[in-house]
Structures are given as C-alpha cells and as structure tokens.
C-alpha cells in the first residue's frame, strides 16, 4: 500500500499566482489543497502555506478572512510557511504602508532594503545560514535562491533570523519562530535548493 | 550581488500539434531541435537559471498550444519561465501567467503600442515585464549622417541600431538604444536584446550593442544572438554590463552543457549559480 500523502493547504487570497507553489508541492508528491475559503482549511490534517506577491497593504486586506484560522493553527502548533509577502505579513508593521497592521506573529518590522544597489532585488543570490538547527534548512547549506522584492523583515529579536543574503547590505532571507516559518525568496522558483526547503517543510 | 544568469532560449514552432523547438539561422532557415517541455526540463536539471520560450509562429490560433506547453513545462521546471511571441494585450499576458509563466516578453506589440509596456508593468509588476528588442546595425559614413539617431563607433565603422518587428521581417526606423531607454521609463523590468546581425552566426554577441544599451539603462540586459562558444559568454559578461546571456544552438546541439558553461565562468571569476 502507498504511504499516505502529506497534505498541504495553499491559502489563495488573491495575491498573485499560486500556480508555481502548487506545482512544486505536487512535484514533491504532496496532496495540495488550494483554499480560497477559510472554512475549507483542515487544521487537523494540513500544513498551511501563505504565498503571495504584491503590496503589503493589499496582502493584509485580503488575508483578513483567514486570520482567525491561521491563529488557531499556530496555537495548535501546526507548521505554517509564509513566502515573500507571506513572510512579511507575519511582522507587526511595514514601511510600505502606514495604514495596514501586520499579523504580529513575530516582533519587528518590514523595511525597505537600505542598499546602493538597484531595487527591487531580483535574481539568484546566495544564502548564508546564520542560525543552525532550523528544520526548514536541514541539509541546505549555502545554496542559491531566487529573490524578487524591495522590502525585507527586521525582527526585533535577532535570533529569529535563520538565513540572510548579501545585496549591498545584509538582507533577511528566512525567519523562524516556533512553528512559524518564513522565506523572503521564492523556493518554488529556486531550483533544487528551493525544492529541498519545501520538502523539509512537508516533513515537519 | 545577484548572479549572472545563463538562459537557454527555446524558439517554438506551434504549427505542429504539440509544438516543437526549432533553431533558425539569422532569423530564417529552420532546424528542428526537440519537444519544448522535454528540452526545458533537461536544461533546468542541467542548471539553467531561467527558461525562455519564444513562440516564433506568434499567431492567435496557436495560443492554446503555447498555454499547453507552459503548463506541461511548469510541472517540472522550478526556475523562472519567460514567454514571448504574439503577446499583444494584457489579456494575452494573463493567459500565459495563469499557465505558469513568471515573465512575459513583448516586442512587436510594444513598438506598435508603447503603452502596453506600462500596462503590463502596472498589472503584473515590472519584474514580470520583459521587452525584447531585435536590433540591426545600420552603418553610416559619419555620425552627421543620422543626426536623430544614437550613432556609435564599432570596429566595422559608425552605425546606429534599428529595431525590427515580426521576428525580423519588418524594420521600423526606431532607434534601438533610445527605445531601450524609453521602455525602462515605461516600467519594463528587463531588456532581452538580440543582435540580428549576429543571431545564428555563432560569431559571438554584438559587444558594442550590448555595451551601449547596458550602460544606458539601469534594468538588467539579457544579451542574445551569436553565441557560439564559452569565450563568447565570458566576453559579454566582462566587456559589457549584461546581467544574463541567452543562447540556443550551443545548448540544442549539445556543443556545451549549461553546467560546462558555468564551470568555465566560475573558474574565471564570474559569479554564477553552480550547485
């Protein structure tokens, strides 16, 4: 008999294309549930992924209907992964918008990257793992991953940062607090390194 | 700093049922190279940083075939995917994004309707908007001969660069360097710059063209047309500010693998993604 598939729910809240994230988890043989109604989230069985491309304020506005379910999942200790804007929304606030308040799951704020280099930071850049022991980065050393962003998170507690990358300054690439994981880059577009990170998430 | 990118380009002929990758020489003669999504998967596994599909038939009737190719490719390829050829409206772009593309490349429609650049950049973000420019040298005796154009000095003499559309079949009188600067203003995130003089010749990229454009814009320039060996790629990265090198025939005919290209570059100190 085949092993039961690991189940993952992708929150589809109208922030860009989720197809590549879907394809990546399918490729990794997960059972993928694309959820546009919070009532369809199965907290018992599914790990939650919050992808997203776009502006912080739109993201916060669109994620509202899902917030109570997300909070419940976190209190139940379920692993949750934020990608790009998904990561940024975990923080308290963002320079990108003074109006929208973040989810506040991790203390700190999202700021524009202070660099002399061109923004957005787009392209392949090298990961630097700055904190050992994060299961998301198991067997991921200093691989290259694909970034598309102008803002990054500055956590209040520095030990939340798991990985950084260099772009004229140190850029936050990944954060981790308890069961909350966030990656600023796009693992679904980051070749083998990205797939390994998503596989690690499935195995949490 | 971000890495320099190596991008295999798959020119797709959609006149056959499931599409096929072909390789033209100087925008004309066609040779068959393979099944689109199979080649894309092979290049991805070999370390391509991005895949470019260009629909050379560029006809609306074949649009579904392209969507099918993108969908099949996106199931197995986990690097950015750029799709060009025949995209004339935001609606056309939406279709290829929904199928799994990360960027669209526009050429003919952008020249005919420059606002399309603004629209695509606004709707999908600059990072998703690539403007392709097919440029051909127009030699003049002296800069005075083409006063309204940007005339540059090349080892072969003075010239300006003219944009062509419809896959090189029609010339526009538009100055390619000026056009590159304009599309940056309009919100393009990247320029795919093809030398029509070099395309298919395997004589190397047009370094003058690539240098002139990449110095004048702040967005990444993808050098294209003429790549025949490893030295050509090294040259375009060290003598111009190109951020990516696109090639077709050297990969299609197995002259070099993508991995070989990257190893060669790493040995010479060029920062590329090699894993």
Q: What is the CATH number of the domain that holds B134?
A: 3.20.20.70
For domain A7-202, say whether CATH 3.40.50.880 is its number: yes
- B275 with A125: Cβ contact below 8 A: no
The domain spans of chain A are: 7-202
Q: How many residues does chain A have?
A: 204
Q: Is A167 on the interface with B (CB under 8 A)?
A: yes
CA distance B250 to chain A (A): 22
Q: For B82-103, write each residue's pLDDT tens digit.
A: 999 989 999 999 999 999 999 9
Is the model more confident about A175 or about B1? A175
ipTM score assigned to the predicted complex: 0.92
Condensed to tens digits (0 to 9), the pLDDT of residues A112-143 reads 999 998 888 999 999 999 999 999 999 998 89
Q: Is the distance from CB of B229 to CB of B197 less than 8 angstroms?
A: no
The CA distances from residue B226 to A24, B196, B198, in Å, are 34, 9, 4
What pLDDT is stored for residue B29 in this prediction? 57
Q: Give me B255's structure tokens.
A: 């002259």
Alpha carbon B176 to its chain's center: 14
Structural domains of chain B, count: 1
d(CA A174, CA A179): 13
Query: For residue B43, what is the nearest residue in chain A, using CA coordinates?
Result: A191
In the predicted structure, residue B143 carries a pLDDT above the cut 70: yes
Does the pLDDT at position B16 exceed 90?
Answer: no
B272 assigned to some structural domain = no
pTM: 0.93
Task: Decide: residue B94, CB within 10 A, 0-12 exposed, 13-18 middle, 19+ buried.
Answer: middle
Question: How does residue A53 score in pLDDT terms, banded at 50, 70 and 90?
Answer: confident
Distance, CA of B38 to CA of B69 (rounded, Å): 10
> Which are the catalytic amino acids of B?
11, 134
- Identify whether B154 is part of a domain: yes
B240-267 b/e with 16+ CB inside 10 Å = b?
bbbbbbbbbbbbbeebbebeebbbbbee
pLDDT on residue B28: 53
Q: Per-residue pLDDT for B260 more than 60?
A: yes
Set of chain B residues whose Cβ sits within 8 Å of the Cβ of A19: 74, 98-100
Closest among B1, B2, B4 to B261, alpha carbons compared: B4
Residue B273, domain member (yes or no): no
Nearest CA in chain A to B101: A20
Size of interface A-B (CB pairs under 8 A): 76
Supply the Cα-derived Rg of chain B in whole angstroms. 17
Structural domain that includes position B173:
5-267
Distance of CA B102 to the CA centre of its chain: 15
**What is the predicted pLDDT for the residue at B14?**
81
DSSP assignment of A46-72 equals -EEEE---S-HHHHHHHHGGGHHHHHH
Domain assignment present for residue B274? The answer is no
Can you tell me the mean pLDDT for B110-120?
97
What percentage of chain B exceeds 90 in pLDDT?
77
Residue B272 has pLDDT above 70, yes or no: yes
Computed over every residue of chain B, the mean pLDDT equals 92
Q: Which of A19, A120, A126 sits opposite B100 (nearest CB)?
A: A19
């Amino acid at each position: 008999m085949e092993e039961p598939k690991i189940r993952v729910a992708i929150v589809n809240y109208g922030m860009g294309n989720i197809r590549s994230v879907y394809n990546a988890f399918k490729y990794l043989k997960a059972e993928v549930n694309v959820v546009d109604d919070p009532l369809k989230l199965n907290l018992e069985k599914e790990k939650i992924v919050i992808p997203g491309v776009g502006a912080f304020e739109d993201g916060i506005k669109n994620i509202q209907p899902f917030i109570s379910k997300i909070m419940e999942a976190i209190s139940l200790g379920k692993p949750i992964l934020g990608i790009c804007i998904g990561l940024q929304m975990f923080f308290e606030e963002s320079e990108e918008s003074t109006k929208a308040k973040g989810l506040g799951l991790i203390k700190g704020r999202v700021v524009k990257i202070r660099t002399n280099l061109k923004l957005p930071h787009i392209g392949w850049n090298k990961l630097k793992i700055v904190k050992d022991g994060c299961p998301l980065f198991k067997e991921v050393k200093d691989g290259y991953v694909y970034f598309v962003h102008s803002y990054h998170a500055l956590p209040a507690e520095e030990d939340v940062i798991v990985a950084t990358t260099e772009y004229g300054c140190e850029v936050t690439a990944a954060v981790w607090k308890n069961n909350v994981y966030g990656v600023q880059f796009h693992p679904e577009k980051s070749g083998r390194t990205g797939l390994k990170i998503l596989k690690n998430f499935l195995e949490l | 700093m971000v890495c320099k990118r190596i991008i295999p380009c798959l020119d797709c002929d959609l006149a056959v049922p499931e599409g096929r990758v072909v390789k033209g020489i100087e925008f004309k003669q066609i040779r068959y190279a393979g099944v689109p999504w199979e080649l894309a998967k092979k290049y991805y596994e070999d370390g391509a940083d991005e895949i470019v599909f260009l629909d050379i038939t560029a006809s609306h009737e074949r649009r579904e075939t392209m969507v099918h190719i993108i969908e099949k490719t996106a199931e197995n390829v986990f690097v950015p995917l750029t799709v060009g050829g025949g995209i004339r409206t935001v609606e056309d772009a939406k279709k290829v994004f929904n199928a799994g593309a990360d960027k669209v490349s526009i050429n003919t429609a952008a020249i005919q309707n420059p606002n399309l650049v603004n629209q695509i950049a606004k709707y999908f973000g600059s990072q998703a908007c690539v403007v392709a420019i097919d440029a051909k040298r127009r030699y003049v005796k002296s800069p005075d001969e083409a006063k309204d154009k940007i005339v540059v000095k090349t080892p072969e003499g003075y010239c300006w660069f003219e944009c062509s559309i419809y896959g090189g079949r029609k010339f526009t009188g538009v100055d390619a360097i000026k056009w590159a600067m304009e599309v940056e203003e309009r919100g393009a995130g990247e320029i795919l710059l093809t030398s029509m003089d070099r395309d298919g010749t395997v004589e190397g990229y047009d370094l003058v063209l690539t240098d002139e454009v990449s110095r004048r814009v702040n967005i990444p320039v993808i050098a294209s047309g003429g790549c025949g060996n490893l030295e050509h790629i090294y040259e375009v990265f060290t003598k111009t500010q190109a951020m990516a090198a696109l090639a077709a025939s050297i990969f299609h005919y197995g002259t070099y693998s993508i991995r070989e290209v990257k190893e060669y570059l790493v040995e010479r100190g060029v920062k590329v993604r090699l894993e």
